Structure 1
Amino acid sequence: MVTKPTIARIWRGRTRRDVADSYEPYLRTEGIPPLQEVALGVQLFREDRDEETWFTAISYWPDIEAMTAFTKGDPIKVHHLNRDAEFLIELPERIELHRILVHDPSLR
């Protein structure tokens, strides 16, 4: 039986445009794989603006308990990567948690 996600955990961070191309592979290799090991699914988005680039990572979870086990504590607490302070304009202070109200499994 496939477990249905009920919660989306959303992290957002922004960089200067001149470091975005360096931060993206770092985020892909250091930030995303740990999520892929335990979350039901993970997506990474990038939005290039005039002077900055926004990155958004969304991971999907069956419940709060699964997220709490992954974060080893408060699921909305941000666990910064070692080099985040070097790349990000400001360190995000929290994670967003959203209940999934509509889930379309045909989106693959």
Structure 2
Amino acid sequence: MTKVPTIARIWRGRTKPEFADEYEAYNRAEGIPPLLKTALGVQLLREDRKDETWFTTISYWADMESMTAFTKGDPEQVHHLARDAELLCELPERIQIHKIVVPPNLR
């Protein structure tokens, strides 16, 4: 039986445009794979602006218990990647946890 996600865990960070491609590749190599092994789904979004590039990672979870097991503690605690301090404008201080009220209707 396929599990339906009920929780979205959202991380956002920004970098300078000159680091955007490098950070995207780094995040895809180091940040996304652990999520792909455990979460029901993962999205990495990128928004290029004139003076900065924003990245948003959304992972989807069946319940709080599975997300808490993955994070080994508080799911709102940010777990920074080794090079985040080098590549991001500042280290994000929090993770957003959202209850999924209407799941995506994909066709």
Q: 1:103 offset after TM fit, Å?
A: 1.0
Q: Return the alpha-carbon distance in structure 1 between the equivalents of residues 3 and 104 of structure 2.
A: 13
1:95 matched residue in structure 2: 95
Q: Return the alpha-carbon distance in structure 2 between the equivalents of residues 31 and 70 of structure 1.
A: 13
Higher alpha-carbon deviation: 98-107 or 31-40: 98-107
Structure 2 stretches lacking a partner, 5+ long: none
Q: Which amino acid aligns with 2:58?
A: I
Q: Spell out the pairing of 1:46-85 with structure 2 (5 A cutoff).
A: 46-85=46-85
DSSP-derived class of the 1:23 partner: helix
Residues 37 and 105 from structure 1, CA distance in 2 versus in 1: closer, same or farther, beyond 3 angstroms? farther
Q: Return the alpha-carbon distance in structure 2 between the equivalents of residues 32 and 50 of structure 1.
A: 26
Q: Which amino acid aligns with 1:15?
A: T
Q: Return the alpha-carbon distance in structure 2 between the equivalents of residues 44 and 18 of structure 1.
A: 19
Q: Return the alpha-carbon distance in structure 2 between the equivalents of residues 33 and 17 of structure 1.
A: 24
DSSP-derived class of the 1:56 partner: strand
Q: 1:27 offset after TM fit, Å?
A: 0.3
Q: Return the alpha-carbon distance in structure 2 between the equivalents of residues 10 and 52 of structure 1.
A: 19
Q: Return the alpha-carbon distance in structure 2 between the equivalents of residues 26 and 104 of structure 1.
A: 28
Q: Which amino acid aligns with 1:93?
A: E
DSSP-derived class of the 1:106 partner: coil
Structure 1 stretches lacking a partner, 5+ long: none
Q: 1:40 offset after TM fit, Å?
A: 0.1
**TM-score using structure 2 length:** 0.97
**TM-score using structure 1 length:** 0.96
Q: Which runs of 4+ in 1 moved over 4 A?
A: none
Q: 1:105 offset after TM fit, Å?
A: 4.6
